[in-house]
Amino acid sequence: MEITKETGVSRPRHIFVNTNAEVQRATKPEEDLAQYWTLTAQPDSRPLRLALTHYMRALREPEEAMMFCYRALEAICHDPNFYISDKEMKQNWKALRKPLNVDKAYLDPLTERATDHRHGGQMIPSREEYTAALKTTHHVIERYAAYLNNGNLPPDKFPQLAVSEFPANMS
C-alpha cells in the first residue's frame, strides 16, 4: 500500500495514479467540457449537471471510473426527453441512443464492465479500459450537450458512434 500525496488515502501499488497528462492523452481535457456547464442553468438541466459531475469523478478516481462513467450516461437517460420509467431502463437507453446517434454496440463494453462494479464487485480498469471509458463518456456527453443546445444533431456533424472505444480484445 502507498499513501498518495493528493489525498492521503492508501491504495494498492498496482493501481495507476491519474495525472493531467494521462487525462489529456485519454480524452480532451476536462476544461473542454466546461463550456457545457452554462447549459446547466436551463430548465430540466439536472441530467447534464449530474453527467458532468460523474464524469469529473471518473477523471479523479480511475479505479472507480467504470461506475462513474456509467452513472454519467445513466443520468442522461433520465432526461425528460428520453425517460420512460425506472421499470423500463432498456427503453430509456434506446430512447437516448436514437437522437444522439449512438449505436448500442458503442456503449455495451462500458455498461458491461460497470455492471459488476456497480453491484459490489471489484473491477480495477486497465489504462486502456480507463481511457476507453473516458472517451466513450466524453463523446456521449458532448452529443447530449449539443442536443440540448440545438434540439437535434445534424448527421453530418455527428455521424453515428458505432465502433467501441474499447480495444477489440476487451469488448
- pLDDT digit string (tens) for 74-126? 999 988 888 887 777 788 888 889 999 999 999 999 988 887 766 667 678 88
Q: How confident is the model at residue 171 (pLDDT cuts 50, 70, 90)?
A: very low
Residue in this structure with the C-alpha cell 476507453, named with its chain if needed: 132
Q: Classify residue 80: in a domain, yes or no.
A: yes
Instruction: Give the distance, in angstroms, between the CA of residue 44 and the centroid of all CA atoms in the same chain.
Output: 20
Q: Classify residue 133: in a domain, yes or no.
A: yes
Dihedral sign for Cα 89, 52, 30, 157, please.
positive
Q: How many CA atoms lie within 13 A of 121 on its CB side?
A: 13
How much is the pTM? 0.76
Supply angle C-alpha 39, 43, 44, rounded to 5: 90
Check residue 159 and give its pLDDT. Answer: 92
- Which carries the bigger pLDDT value, residue 150 or residue 22? 150
Neighbours of 34 (CB within 10 A): 10
Q: Classify residue 54: in a domain, yes or no.
A: yes
Q: Classify residue 105: in a domain, yes or no.
A: yes
Q: Classify residue 60: in a domain, yes or no.
A: yes
Check residue 100 and give its pLDDT. Answer: 95
Q: Classify residue 63: in a domain, yes or no.
A: yes
Total domain count, the chain: 1
Q: Classify residue 1: in a domain, yes or no.
A: no
Q: Classify residue 4: in a domain, yes or no.
A: no
- Which carries the bigger pLDDT value, residue 101 or residue 19? 101
Helices (H) and strands (E) in the chain, counts: 7, 2
Domain that holds residue 35: 19-150
Distances in Å between the Cα of 75 and the Cα atoms of 1, 70, 98 are 34, 9, 16
Distances in Å between the Cα of 133 and the Cα atoms of 41, 83, 146 are 27, 23, 20
> Facing residues of 161 across strands?
102
